[in-house]
Structure 1
Amino acid sequence: MKRILIVALIAFALDRLSKVWIVHWLNLRERGFIEVVDPYLNFAMGWNRGINFGLFAGNDDAARWILIAIAVGICGWLLWWGRQQAGLWMAVGCGLVIGGAIGNVWDRLQYGAVADYLNMSCCGIRNPYTFNVADVFIFAGAALLIVVSGRTQDKA
């Protein structure tokens, strides 16, 4: 459990630092868009009141609190489940998902929505969506859990 919490704390801290730096210090909140290495990486301010790609977004306060409760519940379950698993990579996967989810919960508490700011495009296709470091950690942690848990299953 200690490894899960350490990874979660590191992921959470990196997410918070990135948001403080980009959203506040670079003032992306008011600027709206900062060209970094166009079109491959730009900072574009987005406020996500829902889940991925704005799904289930609602402007009412109830939706915000429901999403917070779901995220906290998933984190609690992952912490409980992760304690029972063996191996460093399972702990890293659980910690990344938990740290990222708590980072997005923090946003919902602080701003009322998740602060998204990373925008990546390529090959002549302009991506209209934004995401954040917490989303990267959640995705990477979930992918790692899928890969590692598949290796521990019996082949029978």
Structure 2
Amino acid sequence: MKFTKRTAYIILVIVATIAIDQISKVLVRANIQPRTDFQLGERISLIGDAFIMMNVENSGAFLGMGSDLNPTLRIVLLLILPIIVLGFVLRHILKDKTIDNWSLFAFASIIGGGIANVYDRIIYGSVTDFFYIDLGGVFRTGIFNMADLSVTTGMFILLFVSFGKKKKSEDLEKTA
């Protein structure tokens, strides 16, 4: 594989995503009392009750799913499978030179976020989550972190790019 500006861009986005996530988690672990089964932990209001920070260790995946799995299945589903998938996605974006810049950024953000959370599971046995949004019950999130935000943002970008490509192809078909 030849090292190009494109490859450097992919690596830069992945490394920046991991760094931002890991730095934010170090700060949260050092400064916010964690929630345990027996106590609620510290809650820091950033914007009223709408945007709150707290420290929650998540031994599962999204919204704690998988935390009740037996240890072997948890290792397979939360460590081995994600590492394999992230490796294939990275290989794909490095090889496929036709991927547009927005999609490249999206895939690199997803890979960086995935690596950051897998790293936490390997090193700490859980993932540190700390952001919570509640817009008066109209919109409410689970507790998440910067890696989750990167993965979600990447998915939304891919979705919008996909719709944009579909719209362009429909427009071309109409004019042909």
Query: What TM-score do the two structures reach when normalised by structure 2?
Result: 0.76
Work out whether residues 64 and 112 of structure 1, in 8 Å CA contact, stay in contact via their aligned partners in 2. no
The answer to whether residue 79 in structure 2 is matched with residue 68 in structure 1 is yes
The answer to whether residue 45 in structure 2 is matched with residue 36 in structure 1 is yes
- Distance in structure 2 (CA, Å) of the matches to 1:59 and 1:35: 31
Q: Could you say what secondary structure the match of 1:29 adopts?
A: coil
Q: Which structure's CA Rg is the greater one? A: 2
Aligned twin of 1:45: 55
Moved over 6 A (4+): none
Equivalent residue for 1:90, pick from 94, 100, 103: 103
RMSD across aligned positions (CA):
2.4
**Aligned residues between the structures:** 155
- Distance in structure 1 (CA, Å) of the matches to 2:87 and 2:42: 36
Aligned twin of 2:132: 119
Can you give the 5+ residue segments of structure 1 that lack an aligned partner in the other structure? none
Q: Say which structure, 1 or 2, has more relative contact order (CA 8 Å, 6+ apart).
A: 1
Q: Which moved more, 1:62-71 or 1:136-145?
A: 62-71
**Aligned residue identity for 1:28:** Q
Q: Deviations over 1:96-118 (max 9, x none)?
A: 00110011011101221111111
**Aligned residue identity for 2:14:** A
Can you give the 5+ residue segments of structure 2 that lack an aligned partner in the other structure? 1-6
Aligned sequence identity (%): 24
Q: Could you say what secondary structure the match of 2:85 adopts?
A: helix
Work out whether residues 93 and 145 of structure 1, in 8 Å CA contact, stay in contact via their aligned partners in 2. yes
Q: Which moved more, 1:93-102 or 1:141-150?
A: 141-150
**Aligned residue identity for 1:42:** I
